[in-house]
Amino acid sequence: MAAPLSADQQMKALRAEGVKVSERSGWRTHNRNHKGAWGPVHGVMIHHTVSSGDDSSVELCYNGHSALPGPLCHGVGRNDGTIALVSSARANHAGLGDGDVLRAVINETALPAANEANTDGNRHFYGLEIVNLGDNKDTYTKGQYRSAVLWAAALCRAHGWSEKSVIGHKEWQPGKIDPRGPIEGGGSFSMTQFRADVRAQLAGKPGPSPAPVPTSPPKEDTAVPLSTDDVKKIWTTDGILPSPSTAAKGNTHWTADSYIRDIHARLRAVQGTLDATNATIRTMAEALAARDQAVDVDALIARIETAIKGVTVRLETE
Ligand SMILES: [Zn+2]
């Protein structure tokens, strides 16, 4: 997992971690790759800028200065809590440091004191410059500190590193003092505390407000089959369905079974009435034909049946 993340991968990792990101135009292709190797990467490094002013510091880190050409880091930790991206590859931030420290970072073991400057750090570390004068008086804002923790955690998570892959510049190169200074709300910048904060961030899910995780999977809809007795009870339980008939004196509620029996009885009565009516019509037609030979019985019945079809028969339930 030591191949450097692409610009898109860095952006994706930072956003997933909840970092508020701003992009200095050109950051994706602005780097020092023409001056040396970029990768394999092994960790992230924290600095202070020795400057003030968010916008001017972002420009300084992008362009560099007469003694040191930019980019001077990958992200700039602004006072407003956003991280401004100024490069996605090799940047001039780490310089020559201690190879023993690099080995400890790779192995994620305890850091030895930095007492050598024999190893190219720009090749192996992502760098964050936090906007601060570094005079031990200028205060890091809470948002600034928090965004630095998230920035470090995002890259560690993306690479599968622990907080032990996070170091301060002062832990890399002899003579360096960054980062240092008071933090808004109390305390001063400590890499030990910073790593503990990254560790805590890595222990949780990424993002500023992760979605709540259900403590148990949602219950399946358990369909309990009904027994024959259950079905009988449903159909024959009295007292639930109001009776449709005022004729059912004293019996104001019926079972479903009673409903079906009542409907069936009424349909049989209707069918009987229809049969009788049809027989009556035929008898009348035949009586008519006996008196008048000109009457065609079948034709007369057909006419009467057609007339009946045009009548809406309203079946009343009471
Ligand atoms: Zn530095």
Q: What is the pLDDT of residue 96?
A: 97
> What are the pLDDT digits (tens) for 260-299?
887 888 888 888 888 888 788 888 888 888 888 787 878 8
Copy the structure tokens of residue 304. Answer: 């009467």
Q: How many CA atoms lie within 13 A of 72 on its CB side?
A: 26
pLDDT of residue 210: 46
Question: Which amino acid does the sequence have at 291?
Answer: R
Strands 43-48 and 166-168: what pairing?
parallel
What domains can be seen in the chain, in order of their start residue?
7-203 (3.40.80.10), 228-309 (no CATH)
Between the CA of 223 and the centroid of ligand 1 the distance, in Å, is: 65
For residues 6 and 74, the answer to whether their CB atoms sit within 8 Å is no
Which runs of E-coded beta strand occur in the chain? 21-23, 43-48, 64-65, 68-69, 75-77, 83-85, 96-97, 119-120, 125-130, 166-168, 241-242, 253-254
What is the whole-number distance in angstroms between the Cα of residue 179 and the centre of ligand 1?
7
* Cβ < 5 A residues, ion ligand 1: 47, 169, 178
User: What pLDDT is stored for residue 124 in this prediction?
Assistant: 98
Residue 234 Cα to ligand 1 middle (Å): 80
Report the alpha-carbon distance of residue 43 to residue 167 in Å, rounded: 8
Separation of CA 156 and ligand 1 centre (Å):
19
pTM: 0.66
On the 0-12 / 13-18 / 19+ scale of CB atoms within 10 A, 116 is: middle
Rg value, the chain, Cα: 44
User: What is the model's pLDDT at position 207?
Assistant: 59
Q: Are 179 and 167 in contact (CB under 8 A)?
A: no
Cα 45 to averaged position of ligand 1 atoms, centre (Å): 8
- Cα 94 to middle of ligand 1, angstroms: 6
- Which pLDDT score is estimated for 316? 42
Residues 6+ apart with CB under 8 A from 256: 234, 235, 236, 241
Coil, helix or strand at residue 69: strand
Ligand 1 centroid to 12 CA: how many Å? 25
Cα separation, 154 vs 166, in Å, equals: 11
Calculate how far, in angstroms, residue 245's C-alpha sits from the geometric centre of ligand 1.
Answer: 93
The reported pLDDT for the residue numbered 213 is: 52
Residues of the chain with pLDDT under 70: 1, 207-224, 239-240, 244-252, 308-318
CA dist 280 and 192 (Å) reads: 108
Q: What pairs with residue 120 in β-bridges? A: 96
| 60 alpha carbon – ligand 1 mean position (Å) | 14
